[in-house]
Amino acid sequence: MFGWEFPPFNSGGLGVACEGISKALSSSGVDLTFVLPFKIPVSAPWCRFVFADESGEMMSEGQIKNLFAGYTSHSNSAESKKYGLPEFISSDLIGRVRAYASKAGAVAQKNKHSVIHAHDWLTYPAGIAAKEVSGRPLVAHIHATEFDRSGSDNVNKDIYNIELEGFRGADVIVAVSERTKKKVVSKYGISPNKVKVVYNGIEFSNNSAVIEHNLHELKRNGNKIVLFVGRITLQKGPDYFVSMAEKVLAYEPNTFFVISGSGDMESEMIRMVASRGLSSKFIFCGFLRGKELDSVYKAADIFVMPSVSEPFGLVPLEAMISEVPVLVSKESGVSEILSTALKSHFWDIDDMADKVISVLRHKKFQNHLSANGREEVKAIHWKKAAESLISVYNSLDNAFGMFLFPGSPAVARTQVSHF
Amino acid sequence: MRVRKYRIFDVGQNSSYFNDESGTSLDNKAIIEKVARKCYLPANATLLENIKNNPEFKVAFSISGVALEQFERFAPEVIDSFKALVDTGNVELLSETYYHSLSSIYDKEEFVNQVNLHRKKIKDLFGVTPSVFRNTELIYSNEIAKMAEEMGYKGILAEGADHVLGWRSPTFVYKPTGTEKIKLLLKHYRLSDDIAFRFSQRSWEGWPLTAPKFADWVSSHNGNANTINLFMDYETFGEHQWEDTGIFEFLKFLPGEILKNPDNNFATPSEVIDRYEEKGELDVPYHVSWADTERDLSAWISNDLQKEALDTVYALGKEIIHIDDPELLEDWRKLQTSDHFYYMCTKWWNDGDVHKYFSPYESPYEAFIAYMNVMQDLRLRLSDAQKKQEHGVTLHKTRPLRFSEI
């Protein structure tokens, strides 16, 4: 399995998804080798790590921090903004991707495998190179297309071509939602038969954090909290969130809007909030993770994800685990599988505001959504994704049908290893 | 009668809750025109033809006041076709609540008012006065039977649910526990649902259902049955079962096939009640209905959203009925129709069941949000009306005495 990042050294959802998928596949009996481009001190009990850049030095703490600091970079490079990489490394991101590919053949030679599984364009050239060496089938997993990252007008031609190369070279494409599949078909001209949809999952664990102190004070004084979590980029619709907030405040003035995240639209968002006179109602807490984020979830009355384009969108599932009602845009992949969620078009400010106000006003409605949402999210497990992936593997010609279905008596590890 | 996508921004701005002209599933005019065309007109025509061909054929209708009102407004030819049926003398009209409401459970006084409004509507439109009662969605209990008896009805209809009947058969007339004279007719749910739900189901062993086959099933009860009560949603004919399933052909040939057996005949609910003595007493302390597999109230009252909405509307009523504002009162009553709460049901929402099929809303939450926004507007109107009335009362208090009052 070719990846680009892995928690805790990740900048976004791709690393989280790779962790969830590899863990669930492994517990379903798949012997898994996870390949990363750079040497980082990562480890996970369920899989073996291989670094393409084997000869290189183990990266230093500082370098890693820079590499996966999230999308906080203030450098001027558009690339670095988009991919959250510091300039020294992203200035030639495509070069890095190609360098990764140039070493993938050797990795394939050294490590026995039945299937090659590559995540997003960053690893497609590596996956293709590995396939050229071993002749094993290639699964191209698509978590986000260039269109999702850039909007339709700003597409990077080189990246688009790498994606296309990956889709064409793959034996099967796995998309994280129907809407992503549609994009692969319509924007890249791929046959729909070649694209399978496998939804992401999430690992359920109780959120036992206590409410963050300042928010606790606000709530004690009868205020409500509407939460936004995610990168502050065009893709996530922060501007729609601000417009929605303005409408909500007209009806529910005792409401605070908490923003967790950072990104290239952060200062624009802050300016927008200020120009509408809403600054006293917005709390920007920067990029949060782990316990800090958990304690903010605990305080929220509703979570809103107004994404303009979201191939999947794991964050609402985190909110649901924390018993927070969620409003997601219909332009998100996750909205395809959620029942206990409110849904609006990202551009339908009135509809979003109407729904948020309704949740803030009706305690019983809020309780219904939190209790049932928590139950629903328990069933959205990575295990399900792993089962679907295994049947995708088994459908491949050259995989020798050696992947076992979970639950079969022979779940003991097979001799198969794969990337 | 469906509530349009009524937003928080509409509250206090406009109070037209039902006027959606989108042409979608929330557009009441469009719905009435559609069901009139697909179901009511062709089904009524078939029944009229049946009566002409078989003067022994009988049928009964229970039509809510809200439905009649909407037909009058959007498809008056449907009213005419019902009149033609009633005029044959073979058709009985039953009583129900005017607004197809759950008032029998939530507000007895309102229940009685709505039943009386419905009686008046039926009398005005068709010139007849019903003597048999059927409650909204066939919701029934000892208590409801008692209320119907107190209102002077000689009969009442209920679901012949297994958990109510036990070893007993729905093919006899019963006496509800706690009543004196009223008689109970029970829906034969297997035979009724064979038509209403299974008619076009290809996976069902009875498919394809033909009139002779169904007549055989009916006749097989002879010797051990006084009556077989077939109750179903009228929209079975043409709307739930589309014309191309052959449902109208089935309806056309059924009377003749059933009457081929000289032991069979047709009777209206009143005739059955007059003709047969009670077989025994039936104790139904808890509510039954004809909805879902549970045959209870859970389609309308199972989650907190439904309970919240119902509590809110009936709590408002306690004040609205004391206010002299006919429009407010009418809107409040229209908001009691059971369908509003049905659309908020989340039972098996995930599995995309029948509720989803019947709901015009994208989700139960959309239904709840629009409804509760309407409740807020209703509350505003109520407090406005209360203020006006208080003003009026003050005037009233200070008016000069009249001679008659000395």
Dist CA A383 CA A406 (whole Å): 9
Which of A204-218, B49-63, B258-272, B386-400 bottoms out in mean pLDDT, i.e. has the lowest?
B386-400
| DSSP track, B211-252 | HHHHHHHHHTTTTS-S--B----GGGBTTTB-GGGTHHHHHH
Read off the pLDDT band of A153 (50, 70, 90): confident
Dist CA A93 CA A99 (whole Å): 10
Dist CA A146 CA A121 (whole Å): 9
Q: Would you list the domain boundaries of chain A?
A: 13-201+381-418, 213-378
Say if A330 is an interface residue toward chain B (CB within 8 Å): no
- Angle, nearest 10°, between helix axes B108-126 and B76-87? 80
Nearest to B7 among A342, A354, A364 (CB): A354
Greatest alpha-carbon pair distance for chain A in Å reads 65
- Topology adopted by domain A213-378: Rossmann fold (3.40.50)
Looking at the structure, give the CATH architecture of the domain made up of residues A13-201+381-418.
3-Layer(aba) Sandwich (3.40)
Residues of B in contact with A342 (CB under 8 A): 363, 365
Stated pTM of the model: 0.88
Say if A284 is an interface residue toward chain B (CB within 8 Å): no
Contacts of B166 (CB under 8 A, 6+ apart): none
Say if A362 is an interface residue toward chain B (CB within 8 Å): yes
Which of A71-75, A83-87, B55-59 bottoms out in mean pLDDT, i.e. has the lowest?
A71-75
pLDDT at residue A87 above 70?
no
ipTM of the complex as predicted? 0.86
Residues of A in contact with B7 (CB under 8 A): 350-351, 354
Place of tokens 């729904």: A355
Dist CA A67 CA B40 (whole Å): 69
Minimal C-alpha gap between B192 and chain A (Å): 33
Of the candidates A85, A60, A64, A61, the residue with the CA atom closest to the CA atom of residue A75: A85
A139 beta partners: A117, A172
By CA distance, what is A367's nearest residue in B?
Answer: B304
Same fold, A13-201+381-418 and A213-378: yes
Minimal C-alpha gap between A243 and chain B (Å): 15
Dist CA B187 CA B193 (whole Å): 10
Terminal-residue alpha carbon distance, chain A: 3
Q: What percent of chain B has pLDDT over 90?
A: 87
Q: Would you list the domain boundaries of chain B?
A: 27-282, 304-401
A106 beta partners: none
Of the candidates A73, A268, A63, A233, the residue with the CA atom closest to the CA atom of residue A144: A233
Residues of B in contact with A369 (CB under 8 A): 365
By CA distance, what is A360's nearest residue in B?
Answer: B369
Say if A253 is an interface residue toward chain B (CB within 8 Å): no
Query: Strands A342-344, A417-418: parallel, antiparallel or unpaired by DSSP?
Result: unpaired
> B285: buried, middle or exposed (CB in 10 Å: 19+, 13-18, 0-12)?
exposed
Q: Is residue B284 helix, strand or coil? A: coil
**Is the N-terminal amide bond of B208 cis, ω within 30° of 0?**
yes
Residues of B in contact with A251 (CB under 8 A): 8
CB A118 within 8 A of CB A101: no
Say if A243 is an interface residue toward chain B (CB within 8 Å): no
B318-374: pLDDT as tens digits: 999 999 999 999 999 999 999 999 999 988 665 545 666 778 899 999 999 999 999
Question: From 3.40.630.30, 1.10.10.10, 3.20.110.20, 3.30.365.10, which CATH number describes the B27-282 domain?
Answer: 3.20.110.20
Cross-chain Cβ contact A355/B307 below 8 Å: no
Dist CA B42 CA B1 (whole Å): 22
Minimal C-alpha gap between B304 and chain A (Å): 6
Residue of B303, B365, B375 to mutate, interface with A, max A Cβ within 10 Å:
B365
| pLDDT at residue A76, rounded to an integer | 39
Minimal C-alpha gap between B383 and chain A (Å): 19
Cross-chain Cβ contact A343/B350 below 8 Å: no
**Selected residue with higher pLDDT from B78 and B355:** B78
Tokens read off for A44: 């996970």
Contacts of A375 (CB under 8 A, 6+ apart): A340
Catalytic residue, candidates B92, B96, B110, B137? B137
Where b means 16+ CB within 10 Å and e means fewer, A16-31 reads bbbbbbbbbbbebbbb
pLDDT at residue A73 above 50?
no
| DSSP track, B250-275 | HHHHHHHHHHTSTT-----HHHHHHH
Phi, psi of A181 (to 5 degrees): -60, -45
Query: Does the annotation mark B137 as catalytic?
Result: yes
B253-293: pLDDT as tens digits: 999 999 999 999 999 999 999 999 999 999 999 999 999 88
Minimal C-alpha gap between A354 and chain B (Å): 6
CB A32 within 8 A of CB A48: yes
